[in-house]
Amino acid sequence: MKMAMVVLLAEMLCSVPADASGIRGTVMTPSRESVANAKIEIPASDESVIADASGAFHLPNVEPPVTLVVSHPGFFDLNIQLEADDSSTLQVILQPKTAFEEEVTVVARLPGPSIAPVGAATSTVDPQEGNTGASTVGELVQNIPGVAPNGQGGLFENYSIRGVSRHRITTSISGIRLSSERRAGVSASFVDPFLLGSVDVVRGPASSYYGSGALGGTIDLSSRQFQNWVIESDYATQGNGYLLAGGWGGGGWSAGFARRQADNAQAADGTELNSHFTQYSGLVSKIWEGKNRDYQILVLPAVGKEIGKSNTDFPDRTTNYPEEKHLLVNFSTRSIGGWGVNAFVHPQTLHTQTVEEQLESNVFNDSFDFGLGTDREVSLGSRTNAQVGIDYFGRQGVDSTEMRHGPEVLPLESQILKALDGASQNDLGLRGSVTFHADAAIVEAGGRWTVVNQKNGGSVAETDTAFNGFAGVVFPLRTDLELNAAVGSGVRFPSLSELFFSGTTGRGTVIGNPNLEAERSLNLEGGIRYYSALVRASAYIFRNQISNYIERVEVTPDEWTFINLTEGTIDGFEWEGQILPSPSFRVYGHGHFISGESAYGMPLLDIPVNRTAIGFQHFKEQWETGAQVEFRGKKTDPGDGEKRIPDAQLLSAFVSVDLPANLQAALRATNLLNQLYFDTADRKAPLGYGRGFLITVRWSLD
């Protein structure tokens, strides 16, 4: 049975239609992101087709002149009138029914298929739009409902999605799956936001699409495709931070570079925060088109120097990252027939230094990650598409070497410890889904089978398998109101560090547990979206039930290990909306309410505080102004390793102006009330930044 399934997958993946006649095209958003599952039909006929995962479609038996109607539940219908002498190759731009800056219907790019199951809550942030003032990915996504900071502070501060965090959230860049030996989870902070084209956030399990780790959601980054010259510089009063960045693009080429640096910042009461860093990142990419296939190659190097870990141990116990290095290389291709291939390599290193009194510990982590995947979408009729894929993700040479120095250290031969010694991991996944496009609704269902193999050095390899699936629907009740619903299961195998690493970290001493079992989850969610000329709003409720929940527990003060809880349940409600009284003014808001506890009634770690934000934007000629106040609730039920924190009200504002000669200047102020607050309830989380100002100057022909 398994062999027959593999043969069928191979046949579907490798067969590419050769017919070049008829009308072809790609359905896109105004920002040139592909729209999957749009319906293209000829009125008063039986001719219709569904756009594939890359937004591509083909009507083989149709030639101009003809009238086409393009529709999708998340977009306004578009009528296209083709005359006899018009081109039969189209680029169709659909206007989204919503105008939230961060929300977008399911999209896809060259490296892979749709970013999320139909019916799941999905958001997109454009780092180059608006006045975010963000210096990290975490800051870019902090205004999305259900997304919140997590862990300790500084450049490496991570994020949670719907109360799920650490390695239960996957992060990828242009099809490159990221990994890390940090117990706090994967951080994409080594890539400057200047080099990003968009940030897609799936809120809820996406293991069927992204594999092990997407238990609570995923952050999918895309590299920026510069169209011309762009130069940008900014200065931040907090930490005397500054950015020098530039990019150029043309003829399918794109290249960019960013240098960002900051000294230690301060809290509102003057407390010094160990938040300094120096960071260099760049990219070079090339996209070119063949007759029936597009190709892209991406090279993204990054180096970080002297990165401070901001926590309450500072300055008595200081943790710094003297050096971090990444090199991401990706090659991807996708045909107009819906067949795609993606391959990447990612060597990385991280040096962690901890100094306490006369004892110094240096931990050197390095690994070589790589992956290969292929997927294919095939038509099963005018209303139904099927998608299948095979992907492999590997990690080899995962080493973690600790060197200790000080008068209390044992003799020389005991000063070098090998926590991870040639550890490795191999993931293989087979996935498939079927999408049915009804007259108004879209229904999708699918699943994934995964096998993982993990070992440390000469230990016996551990092998585990899992199956997870999903189903979702988008159903319009009327032209301005639609319902979304989804059910999905997720899986997350324990990381190599959780299993095998024992040594010194920025939090304290960690002891691995090789007996950990894989986490499993079942997520139910439902949503409603309303859109009119004046009011646009959406709301979701969800419940995520996780079994074998891997929790970090404190054995003795500052000594931690990991155990499987019997079960954990996270419930929540998230919303966002806006009122548009005029084209030049909008009032918006968003927020979430999330709770989580174990089967024993104890609070789960990393559940964010409840949050509500209200703001406005005003546009007048070349000027744009805005302000936002965020109300953060208090934390009264901390979990193990957390603390009670008070509520806070954070006020921010900005003003920007378009100047002659393609210049733009902006001034942004944060924490204007200069409040004392904590970003997270982590016991070692420091106070947040005090009042700060950011000045940005940008020159662009892009």
Domains of the chain: 22-99 (2.60.40.1120), 108-700 (2.40.170.20)
pLDDT per position as a tens digit, 383-426: 888 889 999 999 999 998 888 877 655 554 446 778 888 999 99
Query: Hunting for tokens 């419930």 — which residue is that?
Result: 571
CA-CA distances (angstroms) from residue 252 to 285, 296, 601?
8, 9, 56
Q: How far apart are CA 525 and CA 74, in angstroms?
A: 18
Rounded distance, CA 187 to CA 156, Å? Answer: 6
**Which range scores top for mean pLDDT: 60-64, 82-86, 154-158, 261-265?**
261-265
Span of 122-131, 248-257, 645-654 with lowest mean pLDDT: 122-131
Q: Residue 38 in contact with residue 75, Cβ under 8 Å?
A: yes
Q: What pLDDT score was predicted for residue 99?
A: 40
pLDDT score for 32 = 64
| Highest-scoring range by mean pLDDT, 17-26, 65-74, 371-380 | 371-380
Average pLDDT value for residue range 150-159: 85
Distance between CA 190 and CA 260 in Å, rounded? 10
Q: Are 197 and 263 in contact (CB under 8 A)?
A: no
What pLDDT score does 253 carry? 95
pLDDT score of 313 more than 80: yes
641 or 699, greater pLDDT: 699
Average the pLDDT over 230-256 and give the result: 95
Q: What tens digit of pLDDT does each residue of 268-297 get?
A: 999 999 999 999 999 999 998 887 888 999
How sure is the predictor about 73, in pLDDT bands with cuts at 50, 70 and 90? low
Half-sphere exposure of 317 (CA within 13 A, CB side): 14
Report in angstroms the alpha-carbon separations of 71 from 27, 77, 94, 481, 512.
10, 5, 8, 16, 52
Q: What is the mean pLDDT of residues 367-393?
A: 89
* pLDDT at 107 (0 to 100): 31
Residue 515 confidence (pLDDT) above 80: yes
Rounded Cα distance, 199 and 702, in Å? 19
pLDDT at 116: 60
Q: In terms of Cα–Cα distance, which of 471, 593, 606, 496 is closest to 549?
A: 606
Identify the band that residue 125 occupies on the pLDDT scale cut at 50, 70 and 90: confident
Is 268 in a helix, a strand, or coil? coil
Q: Which of the listed ranges 134-148, 216-230, 648-662 does the model predict with the highest average pLDDT?
A: 648-662
Answer yes or no: is pLDDT of 368 > 80.
Answer: yes
The overall average pLDDT reported for the chain is: 85
398, 402, 403, 404: CA torsion to nearest 10: 180
Comparison of pLDDT for 418 and 100, the residue scoring more:
418
pLDDT tier for residue 302 given thresholds of 50, 70 and 90: very high
CA–CA gap between residue 702 and residue 684 (Å, rounded): 43
Q: Indicate the SS3 state at residue 600.
A: coil
Helices and strands (H and E) in the chain: how many: 4, 43
